[in-house]
A and B are shown apart, each in its own frame.
Chain A
Amino acid sequence: MPDLDALKAEAKRLLDEGVVEMIIGFKAGDTPLHPQPAFFKTVEEIDRLVYNALCQNNLATYLTRFPKTQKIGMLVRGCENRSVNALVIEGQHPRDGLYLIGVPCEGIIDWRKIIEKTGEEVISVFEQSDNTVLVEAKSGYFTLEKDTLLHESCARCIHPNPISADIVIGELLPEGDPTLAREQVAAFADLSLQERHAWFRQEAERCIRCYACREACPMCYCEECFVDHVSPRWTESGTTPAGMQGWHIVRAFHQTGRCTSCGACERACPMDIKMTYLTEKLNQDMRQKYNFEAGMDTKTPPPFSTITLDDKSRFIV
């Protein structure tokens, strides 16, 4: 758990000294499982800042809403820092207009895993120092191992540390084990064609096309998403198998070399749909074929956004 007082002190300093005009962080939510993203503009407001393992959103998704001239401070974990970098590369905000307060991240708790064990009526959640979580629910008290509650993206996270923050609050953590990320992809990729299709269909079928996954993703900032384009139409509009599968495939493809494995898309989905197995496969391909990981610096553009004159395919140049 990060040192909240140190975070607040730094946030206050930034606002007080006018380093930034606003800080994007979290505040306590109206329900115990859901802290809310928040935008702090004054030193007094910072008293309401909270930061814990239930803060499930990738705050970088808000970055593109603000003018590029605005000086913005943001609390960033490993994946958020990389998302910010990827956005900087794509020209969405100048890096010198940002002040990143980095927090080494021990992983986000998936509230769904809590209610699986406690029922939906949760009254309070308290992270304890021995890596357990005390949950008070209507059905009683539960002491749960934090490791069993982590969101899957976090359980297999490779880069928990903010890599290019302006300040880091807290001790750096060891890097994650890349074999875990490979296992997830292998679980899907090793299946037969029929089994893969069945898996894909079973997930895509439940989609209601609410686009929470898209809105939660920092890299989905297109002013007009391909699914919203009406003339011509790129996909079927409805929740038919073709419509839903088209949506899932193209959304994932548009993340190639851009996705930072944050898992915010999956956490936002109201239908508990797994979708990172697709983006993780693409991430793995990017690593293997191009030795590239999204957002590891603010200079290297994703392979699919670059054109070189010696490109093997001559269709562009």
Chain B
Amino acid sequence: MNLILKKDDLNHQLNAWRQDYEVYAPQSLQNYTHFLPLQDGFELAFDVKAHNTRIPPKALFLPTSEALLKFTRFGGYEQIPSETSPRLIFGIRPCDAHAMTMLDTVFEQERYTDPHWQARRDATLLVGLGCHEPCQTGFCTTVGSGPFNHAGLDAILTDLGDIFLVETLTEKGEGLFSQLETATEEQSAQASVLQQAAAASMPIAFETEGLKEKLDQNFDNPYWEEISRSCLSCGVCTFLCPTCFCFDIVDEAQRGERVRNWDTCMFRTYSLEASGHNPRPSRVERTRQRLSHKYTYWVDQINQIGCTGCGRCVRYCPVGLDIRAMLRKAHQLPSEVAHV
């Protein structure tokens, strides 16, 4: 159902939700925006500077570090209960919401469900804000998503000047906006024109057809060395990526806590084995892992590209490496590798 939320009423609405939820929305922190819980006198920051928050909202479900259990020196442990207090994330962009649905396939598998992830997901509503002015580094339409994609969202807002058009997408989403008046047909039509224009304004960043095969077939091509030559092997592109989920489990023996920390295939230590052998000894293999995971392994596993085109890795790579350029280049790779 399409409803109308007046911009003048937005803060009132957010405050009303704060009675029942902890409400997170993009707010300024230093020179960037961050999903922070709204406090009295909050100031939203979703229409300034950046589209996306610097840190993707995955961090609200998979924190950079979290304790999983406590143990004592003399045996015995206690599991740390999952958080279940109700939350609402307001102003999440479609690429980031889309990423949440992909991460669900990792953390909520039939046989292995992560209780912390699941509890947080179940307790959290996602109200999205579509991108009527898509960002330049983003390429959501290239990877099968779009600036008004509904995946993962309970409701999505379209900015129509003085008002937001609200499309509720789930029952929970309907419940959130039950007080609002219905949109007129003209308003709905206006939103739909705007949504289509936004998607159409985004150039196709690279061809995805046949890309997986190219990458698969060229596992040993010098291409990987070429594209990774200046890479620093840092954690920027993966830590800021909304779909990257790798973690490392460490026993902090002094504190008696088993913790889970973000980890990334771009780190040297990621695949370092106890023997000292490292199957991904250099930036070449690590870059191959990052790109292949997103553009071939995810496709094998869930038949979706594991990148939502949010553009963060492009913006913040300290040496200016651009995944779009890497993938454009991949198309020049040979299609069939000669077998000897």
Contacts of B51 in A (CB 8 A): 120
Q: For the complex, what is the distance from the CA of A35 to the CA of B31, rounded to whole Å?
A: 22
B232 touches A216 (CB 8 A): yes
A-binding segment of B114-122, B143-151, B165-173, B261-269: B261-269
A-binding segment of B105-113, B183-191, B286-294, B317-325: B317-325
B49 touches A120 (CB 8 A): yes
Interface string of A211-235 (1 = CB under 8 A from B): 1101110000000000010000000
Contacts of B29 in A (CB 8 A): 206
B49 touches A270 (CB 8 A): no
Given the interface contacts A57-B318, A272-B30, does A215 sit within 8 Å of B49 by beta carbon?
A: no
B137 touches A239 (CB 8 A): no
B322 touches A30 (CB 8 A): yes
B65 touches A243 (CB 8 A): yes
Contacts of A211 in B (CB 8 A): 234-235, 267
B-binding segment of A83-91, A111-119, A145-153, A251-259: A111-119
Interface string of B315-334 (1 = CB under 8 A from A): 11111111011000000000
Q: For the complex, what is the distance from the CA of A40 to the CA of B22, rounded to whole Å?
A: 53
Checking B31, B250, B315 against A237 with a beta-carbon cut-off of 8 angstroms, the contacting residue is B250
Q: For the complex, what is the distance from the CA of A119 to the CA of B64, rounded to whole Å?
A: 28
Contacts of A216 in B (CB 8 A): 232, 234, 318
Separation in Å of the B65 CB from the closest CB of chain A? 3
Given the interface contacts A61-B232, A115-B49, A215-B234, does A239 sit within 8 Å of B319 by beta carbon?
A: no
Contacts of A29 in B (CB 8 A): 320, 322
Q: Is B304 an interface residue (CB 8 A)?
A: no
Q: For the complex, what is the distance from the CA of A62 to the CA of B232, rounded to whole Å?
A: 9
Contacts of A238 in B (CB 8 A): 64-65, 250, 252, 259, 261
Q: For the complex, what is the distance from the CA of A120 to the CA of B33, rounded to whole Å?
A: 12
Q: Is A177 an interface residue (CB 8 A)?
A: no
Separation in Å of the A237 CB from the closest CB of chain B? 4
Separation in Å of the A210 CB from the closest CB of chain B? 3
Q: Is B239 an interface residue (CB 8 A)?
A: yes
Given the interface contacts A211-B234, A215-B234, does A39 sit within 8 Å of B262 by beta carbon?
A: no
B269 touches A271 (CB 8 A): no
A-B contact count (CB 8 A): 121
A31 touches B269 (CB 8 A): no
Q: For the complex, what is the distance from the CA of A239 to the CA of B133, rounded to whole Å?
A: 34
> How many A residues have CB within 8 A of the partner chain?
44
Q: Is B54 an interface residue (CB 8 A)?
A: yes
Q: Is A109 an interface residue (CB 8 A)?
A: no
Separation in Å of the B181 CB from the closest CB of chain A? 33
Checking A33, A56, A115, A212 against B234 with a beta-carbon cut-off of 8 angstroms, the contacting residue is A212
Q: Is A16 an interface residue (CB 8 A)?
A: no
Given the interface contacts A30-B322, A238-B261, A239-B64, does A209 sit within 8 Å of B235 by beta carbon?
A: yes
Q: Is A36 an interface residue (CB 8 A)?
A: yes
Contacts of A121 in B (CB 8 A): 135-136
Separation in Å of the B199 CB from the closest CB of chain A? 17
Separation in Å of the B60 CB from the closest CB of chain A? 14
Contacts of A228 in B (CB 8 A): 268-269
Checking B235, B318, B321 against A208 with a beta-carbon cut-off of 8 angstroms, the contacting residue is B235
Q: Is B194 an interface residue (CB 8 A)?
A: no
B65 touches A36 (CB 8 A): no
Interface residues of B in 127-166 (CB under 8 A from A): 133, 135-137
B32 touches A272 (CB 8 A): yes
Q: For the complex, what is the distance from the CA of A268 to the CA of B319, rounded to whole Å?
A: 8
Grouping DSSP codes into helix (H, G, I), strand (E, B) and loop, the A interface class, with mixed when no group exceeds half, is: loop
Most B CB within 10 A of own CB, among A38, A209, A216: A209
B229 touches A237 (CB 8 A): no
Q: Is B208 an interface residue (CB 8 A)?
A: no
Q: Is A37 an interface residue (CB 8 A)?
A: yes
Q: Is B221 an interface residue (CB 8 A)?
A: no
Contacts of A31 in B (CB 8 A): 137, 314-315, 320, 322
Query: Which A residue sits closest to B320, measured CB to CB?
Result: A34
Q: For the complex, what is the distance from the CA of A209 to the CA of B236, rounded to whole Å?
A: 9
Checking A34, A38, A206 against B317 with a beta-carbon cut-off of 8 angstroms, the contacting residue is A34
Contacts of B255 in A (CB 8 A): 236
Q: Is B50 an interface residue (CB 8 A)?
A: yes
Q: Is A138 an interface residue (CB 8 A)?
A: yes
B318 touches A116 (CB 8 A): no
A206 touches B268 (CB 8 A): no
Q: Is A240 an interface residue (CB 8 A)?
A: yes
Q: Is A12 an interface residue (CB 8 A)?
A: no
Checking B49, B232, B325 against A212 with a beta-carbon cut-off of 8 angstroms, the contacting residue is B232
B239 touches A270 (CB 8 A): yes
Chosen A-B contacts, 23 in total, with CB atoms closer than 8 Å, are A30-B322, A30-B325, A33-B320, A36-B230, A61-B232, A112-B31, A115-B49, A120-B50, A121-B136, A122-B136, A208-B262, A210-B239, A211-B235, A212-B318, A215-B233, A215-B318, A237-B261, A239-B65, A239-B261, A268-B232, A270-B240, A270-B318, A272-B32
A-B pairs, 6 with minimum CB distance: A34-B320, A238-B65, A210-B235, A30-B322, A268-B318, A215-B232
The chain B residues found within 8 Å of chain A, CB to CB, are 29-32, 49-51, 54-55, 64-65, 133, 135-137, 229-230, 232-236, 239-240, 248, 250, 252, 255, 259, 261-262, 264, 267-269, 314-322, 324-325
13 additional A-B residue pairs with CB within 8 Å, beyond A39-B230, A238-B252, A272-B30: A30-B325, A31-B315, A120-B136, A122-B136, A138-B133, A208-B64, A210-B235, A211-B235, A215-B233, A216-B232, A236-B252, A239-B64, A271-B30
